[in-house]
Structure formats: C-alpha cells, structure tokens
Amino acid sequence: MSTETQANAEHHAHEEHHHEETFITKYIFSQDHKMISKQFLLTGMFMAVIGMIMSTLFRMQLGWQGESFKVFSWLLGDRWAPDGVMDSNIYLALVTIHGTIMVFFLLTAGLSGTFANFLIPLQIGARDMASGFLNMLSYWFFFLSSCIMFGSIFIETGPASGGWTIYPPLSALPEAMPGSGLGMTLWLLSMTLFVVSSLLGGLNYVVTIINLRTKGMSMLRLPLSIWALFVTAILGVLSFPVLVSAVLLLMADRLLGTSFYLSDIFINGQVLDFHGGSPILYEHLFWFLGHPEVYIVLLPALGLSSEIIATNSRKPIFGYRAMVGSILAIGFLSFIVWGHHMFMTGMNPFLGAVFTFTTLLIAIPSAVKAFNYITTLWKGNIVYTPAMLFAVAMVSTFVTGGVTGIILADSALDIAIHDTLFVTAHFHVVMGLSSVMAMFGGVYHWFPKMYGRMMNTKLGYAHFWLTFVAAYGVFFPMHFTGIMGVPRRYYTNSEFPMFDAALPLDLIISMFAILGAFAQVIFFFNFFYSIFRGQKAIQNPWRANTLEWTTPVIPGHGNWPGELPVVHRWAYDYSKPGKPEDFVVQTVPLEDGEEDGGGH
Amino acid sequence: MISLLTYAVIILGIIAIVQLARVFELTGELKGRKEWEISEKDNSTQANLWLWFGIILFILFGWLVVEYGDSAQPNGSLHGVAYDNLLMVNFAIVVFVFLLVNAVLFYFAWKYKRDANRVPEYFTHSTKLEMIWTIVPSIVMAGIIIYGILFWYETIMTKPSEDAIAIELYSKQFDWTARYGGKDNQVGSANVRLIEGANFLGIDVEDPSSKDDIIIKGEFHIPVNKEISFQLRSQDVLHGAYMPNFRMQINTVPGQMTRFHFTPNKTTKQQREELDNPDFHYVLLCNKICGSAHYNMQMNIIVETEEEYNKWLGEQQDFMAQVPELFENNNEKLMAEKK
Ligand code: HEM
Ligand SMILES: [Cu+2]
Ligand SMILES: [Cu+2]
C-alpha cells in the first residue's frame, strides 16, 4: 500500500484536472457513482419508512381486529378510518403499497442501487460506472417513480389496492374497488418509470463489470459481492422488460378498452364490452418477472454477506467456485420456475408437476450456499461488528425461510396452503428478512467508506438484537396461523369461528411488529448522527482485502488518486499461512511459488 | 402465556428505550474508543447472545408446536388423509433441517468467536465436503419430488368418475352460489352475458339440461363418500374457492371454467361429535384478493348421509319451477322463430 501522504499528494494533483463542481453537480445531478449510491440509499430508506409504518398499521388491525385507534384517525383520516376503525379498503391498500415498496423500492432499487453503484467500481478497480450519465438518469427515474408512488397514497380514492401482484380484472376495473381507479393508474405509471430506472442501472452494471475491471482482476478473482450483483443485473435486464409489457397491456385494457386480460365480465349491473382476453396471461407475464425478482432481491444479500462473513471470520470464504457456480445456477433456474405461483389457476396439472420439479432443483444450489457460509465460520476467529451480526442472521433466515419453500414448491401441498399466511411467512423470512438483514449489514460495513466516519457499535448491537428478535417474533408464529388456513390479504379473520385459535398468535405477531418498528429508530439515529458526528474512519477499518479499502478514506472523484490498482490475487486471503498479517490485500503481488487461493 | 408474552414485549420495549439513552451517554464518555476495534468483552457478549438466542428460539418453537402443532383444520375428505401424510413427511424433513442447520450455525457463531490463541485455518475448499452437500440434498429433493408428484398425479391429474355429482360454484363480489345438475346430473351451460333479472347466473335457457338445475344460496349440501365434481365460474374478478377441510383450492377465473373434484369422508355431524364442537361447519371461503369484503365471502357446506342429502335435494325447487316465465318466454320465442 502506498502511504497516506503520498496518496493525498497525488490526489490533489489529480483533482486539478477536474472542473470545479457546484453544489448542484456534486450533490444533486451527480454522475459520481458514490453519490448516486447514497442517493439511492436515502431514497430507499425513506420509502422503507413509509412501508414499515404501513405494515405497523395493518398489523395493528390484525392484532386487535376492528378496534379503534387514535393513530388510525391521525394517519388515515375520517374517510379511511371512521371513528378510528380501519376500513377494509384501506387495509388492502396498505398491504399493497407496503409490498410494492418493500420489494421494489427498498430491496430492488434501494439495495442494488446502493450497493451495485457503490461497490462495482470500487471493488473491480474502476474510476466510475461505464456511463455516469445513464447512471444519473437511472437515479432520477427512480426518484420520479418514488414520488409518484408516494403521491398516490394521498389521492382521494386511495392508492392501488389489488395486492402487489395487481392481478386483473380486479386491477383493471375501476368499478371493482376504489383502489383500482386513479391509484392504480399511478401505480402503473410509477412502475413503468421504475423499470426504466432499473434497466438503465442494470445495463450499466453489466457493462461496467465486463469492461472496466482493472488489470489482473479476472472474473474468478471478483469478490462474490460483485458476482452476485452481476447476475442480479442480468436477471433484471432480462426480466423487467416483461413486466413493462404486462403493465402496458394492463394500461391499454384500462384506458383504451382493449381486451388482453378481460373477457366475459358482469359487474355493477352490466356486461362489460370485453371479449376473449385472459387474466391468466397477465399472471404468466407478471411471474416471469416476479420470480426472478425475488432473486434480484436475494442475490445481492447473499453477495454482501459473503464479503462480511469472510472478512469478520478472518477466513477465506469456503468454496469460492461453488459459490459462483450456485449464484449462476440460481440465476438460471429462477427463469424456469414462475409457474409455482400459479398452481391454483387451473393450469394444466402436468405443467404443475414440471414446475414443482424445476422449483425444487433450486434448493440444491441454495443448500450449497448455506453450508458454505457455515463452513466459513467453522474454526474462524469471528469478530462481531454489527455488520457481522446481521450477516450471520441472514444465514439463519435464509435457511429458516428456505426450508418452508420446499413445502410450497410442492404443487400437491400447495392446494391447502396456497395464499395463506404460511406463504406470507415463508417469503418474508427467506426474501424479506434475509435481504433486509444483509442490507443493514452492508450499511454498517461500508458506512466508513461512504461517509468517512464510523457508526456507533453499541447502538448497532442494540439495533441488531431488537430487530432480529422482532423479525423471528413476527414471522415465526405466522407459519402456524398459515397452517390453520388463515388466508393472506384478509382484513380480519374473526368472521370465521374456525380461525379463532389464530387470534392469540395474531396478537403476539403484532406486538413484535411494533417492537421491530421502534427498533429502527435506533438505526436511523445512529445513521444520521454518524454521518455528521461519527468517529472519523481510518482507511481499512475492518482489515479487509478488497480494493475499495485501498482508496483514500474518502475516495474522491475517480476513486484512486494516480494509477488504478493492479490486482494480483483473489479477495479471500485471510489468515494465509506465512503472511505477516491475517489479511492480504488484493493488490499485494504473489510471492515466488505462492499459489492464488481461488483456483482449484 | 399470552399475557405474559405481552408484558415481556412491552418490558423489552422499555428496556430498549432506556438502553438507548444510556448508550448515548456512554458514547459521549468513550470518545477515546475506536469504533473499529471490538473489545474482547463485547465480542464474547455477542457470541454468547447467539447461543441464548438459539436456545430461546428452539424453546419457543417447541411451545408453538405443542400449542399449535395440530391446528390444521380437521380433515373431511378422502384424499385429505394422504395429503396430511404427505405434509407430515415434508414437515418432518423441513423441521429437521431447520433445527439442525440453525443449531450448527448458532453453535459455530458462539464457539468460534475471536480467540487470540486460535489460528484460523486457511481452508478454501474441499471437493469432498461440497460433493456431500450437493448430493445429499439432491437425494432428499428427489424423494420429495417423487412423493409429491405421485400424490399430485393421483388426486389432481385424475378425472372425476362419470357418476360423480356435478355442482357448479359461482363466485361474484362477494358471495358464492351453488348450482346442482339436477335429475340429469348435468349443469346447463351459462355465460355472464346472459344475466338478466331473475336469471342472475346467466344460465342459457335454451340448453335443455339447464331446466332441472337447482340453485342454492347460503349453504349447500353434499353426500358423504360420494365423489363430487365441481366446475367453477366467476362473474367479475378472480376469486379463490378454498375449502380448508377438504384440502381443496382452485381459483375462479372470469371467462374461463376451472374444475376440481373430491370425495368427502366425514359428515358434518360426525365431525361435530369427534371434535366435541356443536358449532363446527365445513366452509367454502374466498382466497384470492377480490375487493373490500374479500375477507367475508363464505358459504357453509353440510356433509350428510346419502339419504339425508337426497331428501334435502328433493325439497329444492329446480330452475324452471323457480322462474317459469323465463322458459315461457323462451318457448314463445322458439315458436315465433318456427313460424
Ligand atoms: C416491518 C416489518 C414487516 C412486517 C411487520 C410485515 C408484515 C406483513 C404482513 C402481515 C403482510 C401480509 C398482510 C396480508 O396478507 O394480509 C405483509 C405483506 C407483504 N409484505 Fe411485509 N412485512 C414487513 C416487512 C416486509 C419486507 C422487508 C418485505 C420485503 C420483501 C415485505 C414484503 C411484503 C410483500 C411482498 C407482501 C405481500 C403484499 C401483498 O399481499 O400484496 N414486507 N407484510
Ligand atoms: Cu417464485
Ligand atoms: Cu372473492
């Protein structure tokens, strides 16, 4: 490593070649990947708060069904909560927007947007993304999309309410529910812009990883975070256009009177003028994106955790090639399993059997990943930074949520548990929690590189344990209500005496949900406080090997002052025998006769 | 237990807030401390917490299993017996893996905390180990797939027998209607475009098999140990016909017909006696989001002996008897056309 002073001198020399930056070009219309990354992070966090408040509200309704709350009156107003009792339409709206925000705005744009933008150039040794301009556009499309989604909450007929999957005809017919009016149009508009953002970002990530790797950074020396973000971007680029087509056809049905998804429908006392369409077509198009989407949410989480776990176990990640192989296998398989969401649509049962088969195959690479993480911990020297706590938690939720997928993937078993809270529990644990855990981990881990300061460790501990306990507390009992047969998207289950046994569990779940929401206050305090007043960071606080830690504490425009680093080894030389320290940065040349660790 | 947990959660919340305040102070005091250096004490506290978390999680899991382990709705169908077995086998595997892998994870997380005397092994890969955890899950998956698909093949991919009782379930926002085939056991054809006045199901009156159809609202009856073949239609949006007790579910799709069939194997009365619950009911509920009253779109199902069923059915009026004027009009129209 070059010494600090030298680096700084070079840095200043380098900066003079750049034109002066104004506040606007630096903080707002920035083309610097690090600034864009922070913009994604802050926007994602803002949306996540909205999504979380929504979940707290509808969980309060489910915990104390039909009771009156002051908060409901304050936040929802008289129209949606007369006398403080939540209306069933707004319940569905809250669930819908909560799901949409969490899946797309937090865990797609927020997660990939933050970490792909931040880590790709820094970890592959590039000055910036392939196209800074497209990257900037990507953020602004996302921003616009977020504004529209956020705005749609406040319109008179309420936001979209047909579930985050917005199946027609419910979502196509304004007469079917209030949320299918203007709210749905705004949802569709917002999602179209969202996809544009996602495509611009994704293409940029793929091109950057393929073309801009620094000297010596072969594909098999890439950190697993980059592999995961790479495959994620490819999945997005291949599947999001299908969502756009689904959305545009739905728009056409709504606004132009076409019949892609609609046929014989009688509603509000009259037959509608649609002929020959099929709502099942929509489901196919939606899930052709929808399933890869859950891996778009999950893979970055697996990638970030790989870095955090190897670094803090002070051990090489176990089975690097198998990890890369399983990311690729999961990525590929995710395109041929979408039918497992549609077993109950009356689809050909033979096809159902095929989808059961392909879906269960995904369990194999997933198992390999889980075991490899655990073996990485084995005989390690684990350092519990807050990031490490979150990464280990991710392994736990990934396993706990993954195994219930085996049950849901079985078309035969799906008959009685499809669309129950068992499904809600399953996907929250495997996708929602895993990914949220890893995202928190990523923020704690890379915060010093983002802001040049440290987050408070003790607050990080408190935040972690409260969040993790609440997470299991919410979603673990939910499996049991699901097995009872309580359907998801039910405003209340007290209309059915047979679900009375679920009410005590509903109460527990809601308590933990409230606890979890409050726990996030600690995080937000820590985050914002540390940006301004946190302890000043050092160059490589976690003693990690990857290239981002060879930049100055706060990397400037272009990331490395002077020459780009040259890579000589894989990213996981932790505790390599015969080395002076327990880590060897990727830029350190191999000694005579030394083997590079990644190869077999 | 419940109220105890309630208090525990509240107390946890309060502790959290107090801790928060205390931690703020500590941060101020400890300005000298370097955030990136995790002290030995902190590190082992965190490691111990993993172990405690694991233990408490498993205890609570045990409690949930004891209290709620068998809370699936009581089964009332023939294939439901096999379904419940399949579910049990799968759960056994899944719970085993859940416990084992999490236990190992929490144990390692506790055991391998930083220790100045341990030199971590530079262990990059092991083809043997990786083969083991590729092949073992593959074999287990193969078993699960085969078992599942065989069951699927026997229940869903079969056709109902010729003499199965034909019933149509018709869904609209927000209720269900049942329509029986009547004497000919054939449900007449229908389309929502034909809905008019009393013909609220859009039944095609020109189809001869629709005359004797029997339309039922409120609750419908089926005989025990006889195969029932359902066809399902929707008037407006997607709905889901879900009968948890019969381990049956299928969506209803506007413009399309979906089907399922099953054989009930216990009457409502038997079920009430076995459960010692005089209020027990088999129900049909909606399980595909369909609008504001989605949560309350239900219809009771009475399973009874064949005699009781026949008696009940005999008391119901058929479609032509209910709305004769529809058929009169139709006859006049036919006559007019003939002339
Ligand atoms: C703050 C913690 C969270 C709580 C308490 C929570 C709770 C819930 C509950 C109870 C439902 C089901 C409501 C119903 O079906 O009636 C739901 C739906 C959903 N949640 Fe969450 N959730 C949380 C976080 C997340 C996260 C992180 C994700 C990201 C994947 C997520 C994604 C979804 C989705 C996709 C739905 C389905 C929406 C729909 O049915 O259309 N949630 N949430
Ligand atoms: Cu899927
Ligand atoms: Cu319905």
Q: What angle do CA A332, A338, A340 make, to 5 degrees?
A: 125
The closest ligand to the CA of B251 turns out to be 3
A25-70 pLDDT per residue, tens: 777 788 899 999 999 999 999 999 999 999 999 999 999 999 999 9
- Confidence at residue B30, expressed as pLDDT on a 0 to 100 scale: 62
**CA A56 to centroid of ligand 3, rounded, Å:** 25
A574-581: list long-range contacts, CB under 8 Å, 24+ apart: A574/A310, A574/A311, A574/A313, A574/A314, A574/A315, A574/A316, A574/A545, A574/B120, A574/B122, A575/A314, A575/A315, A575/A316, A575/A381, A575/B119, A575/B120, A575/B121, A575/B122, A576/A316, A576/B122, A577/B122, A581/A543
Reported as a pLDDT band with limits 50, 70 and 90, residue B70 is confident
Write out pLDDT tens, residues B145-180: 899 888 888 887 788 998 999 999 999 999 999 999
Ligand 1 and A502: CB distance under 6 A? no
Nearest CA in chain A to B73: A484
Task: Please tell me whether residues B151 and B170 are part of one structural domain.
Answer: no
Contact B295 A381 (CB under 8 A): no
Residues B193 and B330 in one domain: yes
CB-closest option in A415, A495, A525 to B295:
A495
Q: ipTM, 2 decimals?
A: 0.93
Identify the CATH number of the domain in which residue B238 sits.
2.60.40.420
Domain end call among B155, B188, B219 = B155
Q: Of B9, B36, B259, which has the smallest distance from its Cβ to A511's Cβ?
A: B9
Residue whose CA lies nearest to ligand 1 atom number 7: A55
Rounded to the nearest angstrom, the minimum Cα separation between B176 and chain A is 15
Tokens at A182, concatenated: 């203007």
State the pairing for strand pair B175-180/B248-252. unpaired
Worst-scoring range by mean pLDDT, A26-30, A193-197, A464-468?
A26-30
Please tell me whether residues B104 and B187 are part of one structural domain. Answer: no
- A52 CB near ligand 1 (under 6 Å): yes
Shortest-distance ligand to the CA of residue A101: 1
Q: How far is A297 from chain B (nearest CA, A)?
A: 22
Flag whether residue A23 sits within 8 Å of chain B, measured between CB atoms: no
Q: Are A167 and B290 contacting, i.e. CB atoms less than 8 angstroms apart?
A: no
3-state secondary structure of B207: coil
- Find all residues with CB under 8 Å of B317, minimum gap 6, and list them: B214
Interface test with A, best of B4, B249, B275 (most A CBs within 10 A): B249
Chain A residue at shortest CA distance from B280: A498
A179-201 CB burial, b ≥16 within 10 A, e <16: bbbbbbbbbbbbbbbbbbbbbbb
Angle formed by the axes of helices B2-29 and A457-484, nearest 10°: 160
CA contacts within 13 A on the Cβ side of B99 = 13
Q: Given this model, what pLDDT does residue A9 score?
A: 41
User: Residue B24: inside a domain, yes or no?
Assistant: no
Model pLDDT for residues A76-94, shown as the tens digit of each residue: 988 899 999 999 999 999 9
pLDDT score recorded for residue A1: 36
Query: Is the per-residue pLDDT at A16 higher than 70?
Result: no
Residue type, B131: M
* Interface size, chain A vs chain B, as Cβ–Cβ contacts under 8 Å: 395
Q: When comparing pLDDT for B135 and B158, which is higher? A: B135
Residues B121 and B177 in one domain: no
Q: By alpha-carbon position, which residue is closest to atom 20 of ligand 1?
A: A99
Question: What is the atom index within ligand 1 of the atom nearest the CA of A513?
Answer: 5
Q: Is pLDDT at A599 greater than 90 in this prediction?
A: no
DSSP 8-state secondary structure symbol assigned to residue B94: H
- Domain limit, last residue, from B155, B176, B194: B155
**Cβ separation A383–B43 shorter than 8 A:** yes
pLDDT for residue B158: 84
**Minimum CA distance residue for ligand 1 atom 4:** A55
Within 10 angstroms of residue A365's Cβ, the number of other Cβ atoms is 22
Cβ-Cβ contacts under 8 Å, B240 against chain A: 344, 418-419, 487
Exposed e or buried b for every residue in A101-140, given b needs 16+ CB within 10 A? bbbbbbbbbbbbbbbbbbbbbbbbbbebbbbbebbbbbbb
Residue B326 belongs to what H/E stretch? helix B324-338
Are B181 and B110 found together in one domain?
no
Average pLDDT score, chain A: 92
Write out the two tokens for A596: 């590079």
The answer to whether B316 faces chain A, any CB pair under 8 Å, is no
Q: Is A96 in the pocket of ligand 1 (CB under 6 A)?
A: yes
Q: Are residues B140 and B199 in the same domain?
A: no
- State yes or no: pLDDT of A520 exceeds 90: yes
**Is there a domain that residue B73 lies in?**
yes
Q: How far is B258 from chain A (nearest CA, A)?
A: 6
Query: Do B235 and B314 fall within a single domain?
Result: yes
Tokens at A296, concatenated: 């778009």
Give the residue from B219, B182, B165 showing the smallest Cα distance to B321.
Answer: B182
Among the listed residues B225, B176, B223, B200, the one whose alpha carbon sits nearest the alpha carbon of residue B78: B225
The answer to whether residue B137 sits within a structural domain is yes
Q: Which residue from B minimizes the CA distance to A277?
A: B255
B 228-257 residues inside an 8 A Cβ radius of A: 235-238, 240, 242, 244, 247-251, 253-256
Verify that B178 and B74 share a domain, yes or no: no
Domains detected in chain A: 3-599 (1.20.210.10)
Sign of CA dihedral B191, B193, B194, B198: positive
Instruction: Evaluate if residue B31 carries a pLDDT over 70.
Output: no
Read off the DSSP letter of residue A317. P
Comparing CA positions, the residue from A204, A220, A200 lying closest to residue A212 is A204
Higher-pLDDT residue of A6, A176 = A176
In the listed set B124, B155, B186, which residue is the last one of a domain according to the structure?
B155
Contact list in B for residue A480 (CB cut-off 8 A) is: 64, 68, 71
Inter-residue contact B248 to B185 (CB < 8 Å): no
Check CB contact under 8 Å for A399 and B101.
yes
Q: Which two tokens stand for residue B54?
A: 């694991």
Query: Is residue A431 in contact with ligand 1, taking CB distance under 6 Å?
Result: yes
Q: Is residue B316 part of a domain?
A: yes
A432 CB near ligand 1 (under 6 Å): yes
CA A106 to chain CA centroid, nearest Å: 6
For residues B240 and B291, state if they share a domain: yes
Tell me the best of A61, A91, A95, A510 to mutate to test the pocket of ligand 1, counting ligand atoms within 8 Å of each CB and taking the most: A95
- pLDDT band for A8, please (50, 70, 90 cuts): very low
Assigned domain for B15 exists: no
What pLDDT is stored for residue A27 in this prediction?
76
Q: Is the CB of residue B170 less than 8 Å away from at least one CB of chain A?
A: no
Q: Are residues B52 and B146 in the same domain?
A: yes
Assigned domain for B230 exists: yes
Helix (H, G, I), strand (E, B) or coil at A561: coil
Task: Give CA–CA dist A542/A307, Å, rounded.
Answer: 11
Say yes or no: B88 and B130 in one domain: yes
Whether A282 is in the pocket of ligand 1, judged by its Cβ within 6 Å, is no
Cβ-contact B173, A180 below 8 angstroms:
no
Residue B9 resides in a domain: no
Number of domains in chain B: 2
Based on the fold, state whether residues B279 and B223 are members of the same structural domain: yes
Domain span including residue B241? 165-338
Q: Would B226 be classed as within a structural domain?
A: yes
> Nearest Cα to B154, choosing from A377, A382, A306, A412?
A412
What are the tens digits of pLDDT across the range B102-123? 999 999 999 999 998 888 888 8
